[in-house]
């Protein structure tokens, strides 16, 4: 009987602790979100060759999903064309775009030679967002500057754009995707995104 009571108390405490940890993760600051994501990226880079592409993808899927607002980014990259899509098309685009985002990280961060991220500063935007200024130190090369733009989502923050060395990933994709949608249509855009995912997996 005593053991049963102890077990119940232990379970209650573990549940309370789990809830507390979950709450902390949900209310993470923008800086904490970036710090955690960059730490996970470096870890995947260190294990990159052993993991292979599929292993890196599987490791990065939760890391990217928990730090990026992928549905919002998918809407932004097609601009006004989003409203012209059916609900089914919107869902399909969000799904394929999310896979592309994870695939690009799995492809680009595949090996390690001493790289290290460092957060430089953060600033609030006039629109209520936060920009985290960071850089990646690369041995025997110039550091790569990353500016992460984040917006609140629920009780936490999520990345909605990344500017690498002054180049906006969101702006590049928006220009490309809207042009394809307008000229060649939805099915062609999906096919081109899937082709890019396949290319990442092969390289």
Quote the tokens at residue 3.
């053991």
Is the torsion defined by CA of 134, 136, 142, 144 positive or negative?
negative
What percent of the chain is predicted at pLDDT more than 90? Answer: 81
For 26-89, give the DSSP string.
Answer: HT--HHHHHHHHHHHHHHHHHTHHHHHHHHHHHHHHHHHHTTB-HHHHHHHHTGGGGGGS-HHH
Query: 27: pLDDT confidence band, cut at 50, 70 and 90?
Result: confident
For residue 134, what is the DSSP state?
Answer: E
Task: Please state the rounded mean pLDDT for residues 117-134.
Answer: 95
Which residue, chain included where needed, has tokens 């992928």? 70
Query: 18: pLDDT confidence band, cut at 50, 70 and 90?
Result: very low
Residue 9 lies in a domain: no
Angstrom distance (rounded) from CA 48 to CA 46: 6
Angstrom distance (rounded) from CA 37 to CA 100: 17
Residue 75 lies in a domain: yes
Residue-wise pLDDT tens digits, 136-185: 999 999 999 999 999 999 888 999 999 999 999 899 999 999 999 999 99
Strand (E) or helix (H) holding 143 = none
CATH of the domain at 156: 3.10.450.710
Average pLDDT over all residues of the chain: 88
The answer to whether residues 145 and 164 touch, using CB atoms and an 8 Å cutoff, is: yes
Residue 143 lies in a domain: yes
Residue 19 lies in a domain: no
Taking only Cα atoms into account, the Rg of the chain, rounded to an integer number of angstroms, comes to 20
Task: Please state the rounded mean pLDDT for residues 116-135.
Answer: 96
Residue 3 has pLDDT above 60, yes or no: no
Angstrom distance (rounded) from CA 144 to CA 162: 12
- Cα–Cα nearest to 132, from 34, 41, 63: 34
The answer to whether residues 148 and 31 touch, using CB atoms and an 8 Å cutoff, is: no
Check residue 203 and give its pLDDT: 76
Report how many domains make up the chain. 1
Residue 3 lies in a domain: no
What percent of the chain is predicted at pLDDT more than 70? Answer: 87
Which residue, chain included where needed, has tokens 């470096």? 42
The model scores a pTM over 0.75: yes
Residue 1 has pLDDT above 70, yes or no: no
Residue 91 has pLDDT above 60, yes or no: yes
Strand (E) or helix (H) holding 170 = helix 169-184
Check residue 23 and give its pLDDT: 38
Which residue, chain included where needed, has tokens 């629109």? 127
Residue 111 lies in a domain: yes
Residue 19 has pLDDT above 70, yes or no: no
Residue 86 lies in a domain: yes
Q: Which domain range does residue 75 map to? A: 28-202
Residue 37 lies in a domain: yes
């Amino acid at each position: 009987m005593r053991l049963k009571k102890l077990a119940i108390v232990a379970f209650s405490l573990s549940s309370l602790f789990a809830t507390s940890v979950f709450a902390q993760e949900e209310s993470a600051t923008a800086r904490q979100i970036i710090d955690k994501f960059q730490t996970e990226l470096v870890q995947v880079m260190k294990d990159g060759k052993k993991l292979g592409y599929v292993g890196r993808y599987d490791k990065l899927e939760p890391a990217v999903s928990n730090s990026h607002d992928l549905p919002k980014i998918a809407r932004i990259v097609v601009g006004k064309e989003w409203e012209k899509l059916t609900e089914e098309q919107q869902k399909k685009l969000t799904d394929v775009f999310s896979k592309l985002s994870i695939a690009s990280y799995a492809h680009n961060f595949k090996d390690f030679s001493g790289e290290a991220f460092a957060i430089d500063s953060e600033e609030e935007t006039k629109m209520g967002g936060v920009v985290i200024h960071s850089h990646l130190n690369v041995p025997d090369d110039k550091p790569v500057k990353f500016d992460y733009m984040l917006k609140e989502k629920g009780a936490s923050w999520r990345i909605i754009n990344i500017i690498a060395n002054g180049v906006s990933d969101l702006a590049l994709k928006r220009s490309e995707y809207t042009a394809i949608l307008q000229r060649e249509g939805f099915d062609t855009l999906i096919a081109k995104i899937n082709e890019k995912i396949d290319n990442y997996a092969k390289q």
